[in-house]
Amino acid sequence: MLCPVHCQCWEDCGEGLISLLPHSRESAVLAAVADMVAKDSRVLDLDPLYLSQELVMFGYFADEDPPSLENVGKAQDLIREIER
């Protein structure tokens, strides 16, 4: 399981692909989406708008700084490609 984005320690304890990425907004969104997918694979089928809202609702991102739809969609696409 990946370290949650909001704990800010994932540079030290991240696993797999996430630990190989430089710390950036895109990698933070990827880490959050990957964590949610680990809990429920149906996350990959959600519309990026709804997934972005859920990422805020579950505390991965602040209400005033939600992930962009583009980053969420890219994260979903990348995870789908890896799972193939």
CB distance 67 to 58 below 8 Å: no
Report the distance separating Cα 69 and Cα 73, nearest Å.
Answer: 6
Whether the full predicted model's pTM is greater than 0.75, yes or no, is: no
**Residues 16-74 pLDDT 10s:** 444 445 568 999 999 999 999 999 999 999 999 999 999 999 999 999 999 999 999 99
